[in-house]
Amino acid sequence: MNSAEFQNKYHQLSDLLFAFAMRLTRNMDDAKDLLQETACKAYQHKERFQLGTNFKAWMTTIMRNTFINAYRKSKTRNTVESPIEEFLYAIENKATEAEADAELMATELFAFLGQLSDTYRIPFLLHFQGYQYWEIAEELDIPIGTVKSRIHSARQNLQKAIAAHPALYEAAHA
């Protein structure tokens, strides 16, 4: 699909997509942001749209997935509404106590990672660094299902290695 075809199809559906975004977000500004992000993602991947299939379903799926991902991210982020100065007392004395333990645990975890083969370690580290599954798949030139499987296997192997070392296991679950 070329840019002109995409713009034509998008403009035909823009009102419907905005209504769908309003139903998802229940907020005018958030709906506008969601619509814009959906349009950007769809335009960026317009070559993946298969001609002859349902453009409306493709766009609404992108929008729904974008909304769900944003919602999940917002739920996992810690938001602080108080000024940071109120929390300084909590970290002033405790930061140095935990540094040595954290350093030791990180060293041991990286040693466990080093024991994994490149087949599992590389996708795991890329995902840990924040890359999306599809980005890892493109980078390594492997299917996205293989990426997910390898990351899952790497996690399982690391969990087994941690469980075999009681002190590290207790620190990880403290």
Contact between 168 and 108 under an 8 Å Cβ cutoff? The reply is: yes
Q: Do 107 and 147 reside in the same domain of the chain?
A: yes
Structure tokens at 91: 């970290």
> How do residues 29-78 score in pLDDT, each as one tens digit?
999 999 999 999 999 999 998 888 999 999 999 999 999 988 888 777 76
Question: Residue 108 maps to which CATH number?
Answer: 1.10.10.10
pTM given for the model: 0.47
Please give the residue range of the domain that contains residue 155. 93-172
Q: Do 63 and 98 reside in the same domain of the chain?
A: no
**8 — pLDDT class (breaks 50, 70, 90):** very high
DSSP state of 5: H
Asked whether residue 173 carries a pLDDT value surpassing 80, the answer given is: no
Q: Do 98 and 47 reside in the same domain of the chain?
A: no
Contact between 11 and 28 under an 8 Å Cβ cutoff? The reply is: no
Q: Give the pLDDT mean for 124-139.
A: 88
Residue 81 lies in a domain: no
Q: Do 13 and 47 reside in the same domain of the chain?
A: yes
The whole-number pLDDT of residue 91 equals 58
Please count the other Cβ atoms lying within 10 Å of the Cβ belonging to residue 13.
Answer: 14
- Provide the terminal-to-terminal Cα distance of the chain, rounded to the nearest Å: 53
The total of structural domains in the chain comes to 2
- Final residue of a domain: which of 14, 41, 76? 76
- Final residue of a domain: which of 76, 103, 136? 76
Question: Residue 62 maps to which CATH number?
Answer: 1.10.1740.10
Q: Do 65 and 132 reside in the same domain of the chain?
A: no
> How do residues 99-130 score in pLDDT, each as one tens digit?
656 666 677 777 777 888 889 888 888 888 88
